[in-house]
Amino acid sequence: MAFDEKTYHDIQRYLDRQLGPEERQAFERQMQADPELAREVELNREMQEFLADTPENELRKNLRMLSDQTPEPKKRRPGGKWWWLLVPCLVLGGWWVVSRQPEKPRTEELTAPVQEIPDEEETAPPKAAEETEKPPVRDPQKSREPGQPGKGSEKPADKGPVAANFDPLPALEFLIGNNLRDADFQWNITDRPKDAALPSPGAAFNFRFAGTVASETNLIKKTFNLHIFSNAPAAYEAFRPLFSYPLPFQPGSENVYPFDLQKQLTLRPGLYYYLIEDTATEKIYWTDKFAVR
């Protein structure tokens, strides 16, 4: 005898003890009245006991529990299938319309960089009087090779004094007036440049600077430069001498080092200054002047 799905479902619930008290009593009365139902229940019990410890029975129980908890799916409307078939057609149609439109060229705006034009008429404010009385601080980045003149040409027409006016340079006059000396370096100048009158324009000027230095420092390993400046304030402020020569120290006795620097210089008439500088410390030890007429 074949039973409907609900009867099989009740049999399984009866065997799994999932029926309530009233439902269980009603189902047992139904088995007493229907021998076929009782045999079907017994057959299902034997099969359940036979497969009790197998993974298949455990899987069957899990599937049955899921089927009891899952609601019945809603029926689809008849027109749903046709709607999904229409979606690809709409996508293809939209792509065809977009592909038919002409592509607009992309333009990029180029902005030229703005360059600042310096004001040619801009001038520096005048310096105060007290600033000109003090010697300017030398920039350590402005270095020169020993024995080489400063920036610019050696020609007197380019780097000579200011129109041969013999005006004193206040910054160097200040150094001369303070008689710059140092206890560690005792200078004894025996021959120095003197005022001279050139026999003719462009004649050579005999420049000699000689003497000794007493010091406990080994001067053979140090460099002292002798710088020659004109009386142009701008040249000294930028520390651009006309000529720069290292003093040729010679080994002496009892920490005394003689030197004798001789040069033939072409100078035009004017006022000139010379000073001695320690290139390592940029300290000035001697300053003096001479005139060429």
Residue 65 or residue 253, greater confidence: 253
Answer whether residue 257 shows pLDDT above 90: yes
Q: Does domain 130-292 have CATH number 1.20.58.1610?
A: no
Averaged pLDDT, 95-111: 55
- The overall pTM is greater than 0.75: no
pLDDT tens digit sequence for 7-18: 888 898 988 888
CA distance 225 to 242: 13
Domain ranges of the chain: 5-66, 130-292
